[in-house]
Amino acid sequence: MARVALVTGGSRGIGAAISRALKAAGYKVAANYAGNDAAAAAFSKETGIPTFKWSVADYDACAKGIAEVEAAVGPIDILVNNAGITRDVMFHKMTPGQWSEVIDTNLTGLFNMTHPVWSGMRDRKFGRVINISSINGQKGQMGQVNYSAAKSGDLGFTKALAQEGARAGITVNAICPGYIGTEMVRAIDEKVLNERIIPQIPVGRLGEPDEIARIVTFLASDDAGFMTGSTISANGGQFFV
């Protein structure tokens, strides 16, 4: 029987590429989304992947949403924590709300999503938790103290939880993308993109969402069973750890 994968933020950008790649690899896939009903409907129509709406920042909504997914698709074997937001502003201008919104979605969202599926993975002696962090969680980024703190926290979450899941057949890994050519990134002013961002990337280009999706597909597979607690950097050589 095909394993079930749930991708948060899975109907747009990197998440959509991950959802498509997992389906192509033979998984039964469900995609979570938070707000864009039109995009989610179009994605489902195009791919046949069902979409489910809730905010990963709300624990009760996550528990309810996960129950709906499992009733419709089956017990979740692979969880991809991809959903994330930005509220970029220099720290001296940052409001408590801008801090909390990003932390609640990008860091606490990992707890909210992983906690409800963890017991089932332990009982079945199999699980894959794949967390999409960021290059800016590794190196920091001015104007993104909230985002960098959350994405760095994702890496600590990954390393600690990997130790707890290892004996139960559950792997927990993180991917840190650099600048990926999503709709959001390509909307940046062309001059800024070409003169300030791409020159920082040694390979001389943006990454593609499908390149991140292929890493996720590997980490979800049985072939990655000995790999846990790892952080994979996919940034074109922009930052080394």
Q: Average pLDDT for residues 110-134, to the nearest whole number?
A: 98
The residue type of 23 is K
Q: Which residues, in sequence order, are bridge partners of residue 31?
A: 7, 51
Nearest to 234 by CA among 109, 134, 111: 134
What's the pLDDT score for residue 1?
Answer: 76
- Whether the per-residue pLDDT at 144 is higher than 90: the answer is yes
Six token digits for residue 88 = 């970029």
Confidence of residue 149 (pLDDT cuts 50, 70, 90): very high
Residue 22 belongs to what H/E stretch?
A: helix 13-24
Directed axis angle between helix 37-47 and helix 13-24, to 10°? Answer: 20
- CB of 130 closer than 8 Å to CB of 79: yes
Which residue of the set 27, 33, 59, 147 is catalytic? 147
Mean per-residue pLDDT for 118-147? 97
CA angle 159, 6, 68 (to 5 degrees): 125
**Residue 185 pLDDT:** 84
Question: 141: pLDDT confidence band, cut at 50, 70 and 90?
Answer: very high
Name the amino acid, one letter, at 162. A
Annotation marks residue 147 as catalytic: yes
| Per-residue pLDDT, 147 | 97
Determine contact, residues 200/238, Cβ cutoff 8 Å: yes
| Residue 177 scores a pLDDT above 90 | yes
In the prediction, which pLDDT does 188 show? 84
The pLDDT-based confidence of 184 (bands split at 50, 70, 90) is confident
Return all residues near 16 (Cβ < 8 A) that are at least 6 apart. Answer: 10, 31, 43, 209
| CB-neighbour burial class of residue 163 (10 A; exposed 0-12, middle 13-18, buried 19+) | exposed
Show the beta-strand stretches assigned E in 62-101.
78-81
Reply yes or no on whether the pLDDT at 189 is more than 90.
Answer: no
